[in-house]
């Protein structure tokens, strides 16, 4: 796997958020490698004799100059383009810590948009590889944390979802919950919840089956205007601009 390949080296070309058009495409080999994190939707790749299915939270590495076929459905991704990479295998990369990985990729895109610092992005990529390598060697899982995450995923649509409610349901103290989230994801519980809601909103708007108002309420926001402000702060454009970008 790329994350435990010895002496891996590469340079950063760019980082971007990509909304893929629905449909089947044949893509010629490109002069750069791509490390992609799926934000939402579904994609099936036929590459180098492999069938790779990518859903939300999955990653894929596509080497330079390797042609492939892909079928996209409501798919969006954050993609890091690399050059001079010494790893040449196309592969799917999965993680149990999807929200943590997503946060790392969002940090990369935000950092790139602010400063275009290739060295900073390289440090993020190496950090992601370290996390993946550590995860592959972990034998014990924090079941209490997993239970908290499951509760959040089951109840993110509730505007009244709170840290106190999570603690009460899972029998985990407030301080322990916050400490575990900071240790695992690097962000507070409330930010984790907001990030989850934003990703769900991105999925819904990408499908084109719900209005902005319906999406806001379905993702746990009681105020449509507040939802729009949070969405724009997260993705760089308002929900309406996002819909226009995809469908018009």
Query: Looking at the whole model, is its pTM more than 0.75?
Result: no
φ, ψ (nearest 5 deg) of residue 63: -70, 160
| Torsion angle of C-alpha atoms 166, 167, 169, 172, degrees rounded to 10 | 130
Per cent of the chain over pLDDT 70 is 95
Q: Let me know: does 32 contact 83? Beta carbons within 8 Å.
A: yes
Residue 141 in this model has a pLDDT that exceeds 60: no
Nearest to 201 by CA among 150, 237, 147, 166: 237
Mean pLDDT, the chain, rounded, equals 88
pLDDT at 137: 54
Cα–Cα distance for residue pair 105/195, rounded to 1 Å: 12
Per-residue pLDDT tens digits for 62-90: 999 999 999 999 999 999 999 999 999 99
Helix (H, G, I), strand (E, B) or coil at 14: strand
Question: If residue 206 lies in a helix (H) or strand (E), which one and from where to where?
Answer: helix 189-207
Buried b / exposed e along 148-165 (16+ C-beta atoms within 10 A): bbebbeebbeeeebebee
Higher pLDDT, 12 or 107: 12
Residue 7: CB atoms within 10 Å: 6
Domains along the sequence of the chain with CATH: 2-137 (2.60.120.280), 143-247 (1.10.10.60)
């Amino acid at each position: 796997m790329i994350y435990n390949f010895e002496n891996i080296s590469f340079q950063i070309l760019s980082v971007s958020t990509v909304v893929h058009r629905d449909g089947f495409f044949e893509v010629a080999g490109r002069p750069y490698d791509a490390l992609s994190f799926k934000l939402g939707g579904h994609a099936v790749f036929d590459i180098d004799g492999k069938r790779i299915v990518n859903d939300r939270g999955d990653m894929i590495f596509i080497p330079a100059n390797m042609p492939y076929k892909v079928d996209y459905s409501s798919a969006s991704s954050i993609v890091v383009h690399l050059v001079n990479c010494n790893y040449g295998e196309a592969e799917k990369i999965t993680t149990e810590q999807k929200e943590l990985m997503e946060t790392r990729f969002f940090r990369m895109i935000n950092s790139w948009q602010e400063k275009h610092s290739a060295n900073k992005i390289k440090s993020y990529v190496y950090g992601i590889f370290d996390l993946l390598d550590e995860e592959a060697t972990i034998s014990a899982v924090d079941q209490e944390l997993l239970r908290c995450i499951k509760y959040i995923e089951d109840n993110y649509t509730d505007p009244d979802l709170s840290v106190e409610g999570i603690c009460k349901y899972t029998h985990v103290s407030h301080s322990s919950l916050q400490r575990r989230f900071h240790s695992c994801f690097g962000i507070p519980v409330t930010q984790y919840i907001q990030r989850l809601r934003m990703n769900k909103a991105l999925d819904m708007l990408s499908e084109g089956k719900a209005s902005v108002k319906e999406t806001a309420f379905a993702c746990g926001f009681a105020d449509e205007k507040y939802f729009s402000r949070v969405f724009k702060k997260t993705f760089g454009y308002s929900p309406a601009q996002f819909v226009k970008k995809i469908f018009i």
